[in-house]
């Protein structure tokens, strides 16, 4: 899936003749595509970039549930913010982290800080915030999902988890030619983790922290693997590989 994502990004930037390696779209490129059109302009570029970025959040990073749609953008210190929202925090020096205060297992795990480790994903996220700020005319409060149509006003579409969960499979079908649900991505990360040769040498604590990046416990991570084994033993290997293709 990583390869298809990279190819999708390369094709998008090439189509608009915009350098993919740039930290943000240049003033010249933004002005060149900021044109009245019902087909192709900066808004259509942002629309397609948003789809790819949503996938990147599940491919390049241990997959959260549908919580990406709930994230509020901030540059403020976490200790200066109320603990009643999920936030994505952009810090100086390139660091980006997610403060999870409301999620499925919060009663058992407590509030969690999730670091964005992928340099590529961090670059995409910063590119997105800059692009969205220019299109919106103000710094966005929410990360996803924005309505981006070439001939319509830019506006926030929804922050609903269920709507986000329905949008993700459609986006994945267009990029990686298969409908991947949120759970499909989470299972793929668990499979990749437990297949890694280093996993067998981890202590129980280290395994717990590794599984914790998906905001669930070590035990839940093992259940994901048991589900995989059950499918394989049910002689449905091809179905498993098609739906739960690891990275």
Q: Is the pLDDT of residue 29 over 80?
A: yes
DSSP annotation of 12:
H
Classified as helix, coil or strand, 54 is: helix
Highest mean pLDDT range out of 63-72, 121-130, 207-216? 121-130
Computed over its alpha carbons, how large is the radius of gyration of the chain? 19
Between 147 and 1, residue with greater pLDDT: 147
Alpha-carbon dihedral 38, 35, 138, 119, rounded to 10 degrees: 90
Q: Is the pLDDT of residue 37 over 90?
A: yes
- 53: nearest Cα among 108, 147, 129, 151: 129
String of DSSP letters for 103-152: STTHHHH-SEEEE---HHHHHHHHHHHHHHHHHHTS--SB-SPEE--TTS
Between 245 and 142, residue with greater pLDDT: 142
Classified as helix, coil or strand, 215 is: coil
What pLDDT is stored for residue 232 in this prediction? Answer: 46
- What does the block give as tokens for 45? 């570029």
> What is the residue whose two structure tokens read 């269920």?
162
String of DSSP letters for 140-171: -SB-SPEE--TTS--EE----HHHHHHHHHHH
Average pLDDT over residues 95-105: 92
Taking only the tens place, the pLDDT of each residue in 187-214 is: 888 888 888 888 888 898 888 787 778 8
Classified as helix, coil or strand, 87 is: strand
- 131: nearest Cα among 228, 205, 22: 22
| Contact status, residue 24 vs residue 211, Cβ threshold 8 Å | no
What pLDDT is stored for residue 217 in this prediction? Answer: 66
- What does the block give as tokens for 25? 């779209």
Classified as helix, coil or strand, 82 is: coil
The pLDDT > 70 percentage for the chain reads: 88
Q: Is the pLDDT of residue 246 over 60?
A: no
Taking only the tens place, the pLDDT of each residue in 149-201 is: 999 999 999 889 999 999 999 999 999 888 999 989 988 888 888 888 888 88
Average pLDDT over residues 36-47: 96
């Amino acid at each position: 899936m990583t390869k298809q994502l990279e190819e999708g990004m390369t094709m998008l930037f090439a189509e608009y003749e915009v350098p993919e390696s740039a930290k943000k779209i240049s003033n010249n490129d933004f002005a060149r595509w900021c044109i009245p059109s019902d087909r192709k302009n900066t808004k259509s570029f942002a629309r397609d970039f948003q789809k790819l970025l949503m996938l990147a959040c599940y491919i390049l990073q241990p997959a959260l549930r549908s919580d990406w749609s709930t994230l509020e953008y901030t540059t403020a210190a976490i200790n200066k913010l109320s603990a009643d929202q999920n936030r994505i925090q952009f810090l100086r020096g390139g660091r980006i982290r997610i403060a999870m205060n409301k999620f499925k297992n919060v009663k058992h795990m407590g509030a969690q800080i999730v670091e964005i480790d992928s340099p590529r994903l961090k670059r995409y996220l910063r590119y997105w915030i800059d692009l969205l700020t220019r299109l919106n005319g103000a710094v966005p409060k929410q990360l996803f999902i924005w309505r981006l149509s070439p001939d319509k006003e830019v506006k926030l579409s929804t922050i609903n988890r269920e709507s986000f969960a329905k949008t993700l499979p459609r986006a994945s079908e267009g990029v990686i030619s298969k409908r991947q649900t949120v759970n499909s991505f989470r299972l793929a990360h668990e499979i990749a983790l437990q297949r890694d040769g280093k996993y067998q040498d981890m202590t129980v604590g280290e395994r717990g922290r590794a599984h914790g990046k998906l905001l669930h416990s070590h035990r839940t991570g093992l259940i994901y693997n048991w589900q995989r084994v059950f499918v394989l033993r049910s002689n449905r290997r091809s179905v498993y590989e098609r739906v739960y293709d690891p990275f």
